[in-house]
A and B are shown apart, each in its own frame.
Chain A
Amino acid sequence: MLEVRNLNAHIGEADSVTQILKGINLSVQPGEVHAIMGPNGSGKSTLSKIIAGHPDYSVTQGEILFNGENILELEADERSRKGIFLGFQYPVEIPGVNNAEFLRMAYNQRRKAEGLEEADPLDFEEILDAKMKALDMDGRFKERAINEGFSGGEKKRNEILQMAVLDPALAILDETDSGLDVDALKIVAGGINRLRGPSKGIVLITHYQRLLDYVQPDFVHVLSGGRIVKSGGKDLALEVEKLGYDWLVK
């Protein structure tokens, strides 16, 4: 469902261009969970943002196919409505925009794109309540502005809630495990595992192996210097955990 081919990308303009991705190849099939690991600055977050359509990066070479379609020309919102979801490493706070209302807008945009009827506020509330219960989230989340004043763990849980509501075909989760205590990590992992299914693709970007104890990946890739330097099964994550990245980078 996702084919990344020879992806080269940079950030910046004219004199201050920084090349970040140097020929990434990645193939995610329906039902697969991929973990992308790597040291800081290896390009993990950049890869996730480029797939989601962040406007700050320029793709100089290569292509990204989603269900056979080259999505590089699509805007972020169009990619989202096609079923791509990015869970942010640092979700922004948006004071003044109500969390539940925003979720309903996003949900209805997705429904509209699929030719389905939009949900009215009452119907949506039922959907939302069920998803929140599954994630052990307090009802007050609905009243609050998006991520405003949320703790790190609450923000990450809110990302998983959005993912659950939007039910994407492909979820890319950027360090969703960072900043979580063990209980929160279990809840977040539960949310990811609930999404998992034969038609879904999941890409977990993580610095540590910890999350992978709870969400078993089918493939593990190590990214370094803008390239995937090693790919393997879930055992690769354990090796990385034991030996660090140095042996792979050198």
Chain B
Amino acid sequence: MTAATIRPRFMREVPAPALTPALEDAIARHMDEGPFALFDIRTAAAAALRRIGLPHSGSEDFSFIRTGELLPHLAPTAVAANPQTARPGTDLPAAPATGAAGTSATATPATGPQSAPVTALSAAEIAPWILPEARDSYAVLVDGVYVPELSRPGEEFHVQTLEAAAPPDSPLPGMHLRFQGLHDAFVTGISALLAAETDPVASIASLFARHPLLVRVPAKRVAASPLLLLHFTTGSGRSDALTVVHAGPQSESRVLIRHVSLARPVSLAATTAPPTLENAHTVALIEDGASLRMVESGAEGSPAETLNFRKLTARLDRNARLQVVAAHTGSRLMRQAFAVDLAGEGAEAEFNGAAVLSGNRQSHNHVLVRHLVPHCVSRQLFKTVAADQSRSSVDGTIIVALDAQQTNANQLINNLMLSDEARADSKPRLMIHADDVKCSHGATSGKLDPAQQFYLESRGLPPAQARGLLTVAFIAEVVAKAGKAGGTPDGEAFRDTLDHALLDSLRNRMPMSAPSGAKVMKTNETQGGKHA
């Protein structure tokens, strides 16, 4: 069985609508505009998009999402709103000579005269978002475009645009290009992952990302400080970003990702402006023995309404490690998707999600873990606190290939419901083709435990404090994985930041409604084979 054939087979076969002529038009224009060094990559993303089609109401992978709200932002009108695609794509520019074109203090896109300038942000505007632990290692992206003038990537990570890694003497359009200085297999690897993508929204991000970012950790590098990726959106309507993180063999690194909306309403009327689609696709290639930890925030900054779509597509080679911690408070519509291929024996991947949702906020998680070879480990833990009328979903599938014996995979989804009007859907799925594996998955949804609450109150804690303490305790397990508390140098400001964001989300709606009803539990254990 090859990787390509290992897909959930029980998905409903509802044919996706073909891409509209206007979208095809936008794609063609975008491809023409270059830079041509990205031709292979964009071709792969476009092929995937045409194969999958746009998300629709019958899409199994989007079953918990109101695709009607999303579609206008993916479809051509929104695509045309992209400053780049709105420009006539007639001139065929040469590929950029270097990664940094701008020299002034004004923020300009990283490369190429063909690109429309991004909204300028000043160093003062971004300064508050730079974390102490990454004071000398951060990269700034504005509406998906890397801005070297505002960045200080430091020495440990190599940060540049993907096209800057390509040869300066790019040949004619349509020719198969190679990235100079990068191993062929690496480029093929990125393209292969993008071509095999199953998430159309992620494909749109990689396709329309104007200057994909390449973050490389050299082989055997043990990065002492983390790299901070600062994604700013300015309310320009959309932001498409593709970031390729390449962890070289035996390297150890941490990447912190913050998503900040700095939308500045021009007038009072701006509050009714259409929401911005922030669409970020991260591709992680983690080579033999490498360890990569990623910590990601939710939608920070101004309360302007955003649709936040994130996708992490990762491939782990032999004995590679990936740990992801994502903590957020949702948004008007937020979807985090993780797709990981455990492609080398001994690889280990761990996904942790913490969300505290209030008001009408939404958070949707989609996970696809594929165990392709023996002796790999995957762990998932999603904890969501759902208050008010918020909505959450965790849709996770673990696939164990026929050859992937001795797989150890587990998935746990815990929802704490603070309101009868909140909704949390859990869809844990296991597809096991091998016969000697240890796999488990489970989902619980419940209210605060009245016995615990009474215990705390019987010691004098007012009900609101008791409920707050228990709610924080519920997600503490996940937040603790984001790093040590207490700010630098021993602790990490990012962990505290995430912690505070979650707490604020709770605090803003205290006192919580009194809990009632019993705890609902549902757990499944599935084990197969002789060593189970």
Contact = CB atoms under 8 A, between A and B. Distances in A.
A81 B470 CA distance: 20
Nearest to A56: B450
Contacts of B463: 75, 77
A105 B456 CA distance: 10
A109 B452 contact: no
Interface stretch (B172-180, B257-265, B473-481): B473-481
B473 A81 contact: no
A31 B455 CA distance: 26
B458 A77 contact: yes
Contacts of A162: 459
Interface stretch (A85-93, A119-127, A223-231, A234-242): A85-93
A106 B460 contact: yes
Contacts of A55: 450, 454
A217 interface: no
A12 interface: no
B455 A92 contact: yes
Contacts of B474: 96
B470 A97 contact: yes
A124 to B, nearest CB: 14
B473 to A, nearest CB: 3
Nearest to A106: B459
Contacts of A106: 459-461
Interface in B464-502: 465-466, 469-470, 472-474, 476-477
A91 B470 CA distance: 15
Q: Which of B449, B455, B476 has the most CB of A within 10 A?
A: B455
A102 B460 CA distance: 10
A86 B457 CA distance: 11
14 contacts: A76-B454, A76-B458, A77-B459, A77-B463, A85-B458, A88-B458, A94-B456, A95-B477, A96-B476, A97-B456, A102-B456, A109-B459, A109-B465, A162-B459
Contacts of A166: 459-460
A133 interface: no
A91 B460 contact: no
Given A96-B473, A109-B461, 13 more contacts: A77-B457, A81-B460, A88-B455, A92-B449, A92-B451, A92-B452, A94-B452, A97-B470, A105-B465, A105-B469, A106-B459, A109-B465, A166-B459
A102 B459 CA distance: 9
Interface residues of A, number: 29
A52 interface: yes
A206 interface: no
Contacts of B449: 92
A110 B460 CA distance: 7
Interface of A: 52-56, 75-77, 80-81, 85-86, 88, 91-92, 94-97, 102, 105-106, 109-110, 113, 145-146, 162, 166
Contact of B460 (A77, A95, A145, A146): A77
Interface of B: 449-452, 454-463, 465-466, 469-470, 472-474, 476-477
A162 B458 CA distance: 11
Nearest to A80: B460
Question: Would you list the 8 A-B pairs with minimal beta carbon distance, nearest first?
Answer: A96-B473, A80-B460, A106-B459, A109-B460, A96-B476, A76-B457, A77-B457, A97-B473
Contacts of A97: 456, 469-470, 473
Q: Which of B462, B463, B469 has the most CB of A within 10 A?
A: B469
Contacts of B452: 92, 94
Given A92-B451, A94-B452, A77 B469 contact: no
Contacts of B462: 77, 109
A195 to B, nearest CB: 16
A95 B458 contact: no
Q: Which of B450, B457, B465 has the most CB of A within 10 A?
A: B457
A97 B476 CA distance: 9
Contacts of B466: 77
A190 to B, nearest CB: 22
Given A92-B451, A94-B452, A96-B477, A80 B472 contact: no
A94 B470 contact: yes
Nearest to A53: B458
A73 to B, nearest CB: 15
A75 B454 CA distance: 10
A92 B455 CA distance: 7
Given A80-B459, A109-B460, A113-B460, A102 B469 contact: yes
Contact of B455 (A85, A91, A109, A113): A91
A1 to B, nearest CB: 18
A54 B454 contact: yes
B480 to A, nearest CB: 9
A94 B477 CA distance: 12
A77 B476 contact: no
Q: Which of B450, B454, B459, B461 has the most CB of A within 10 A?
A: B459
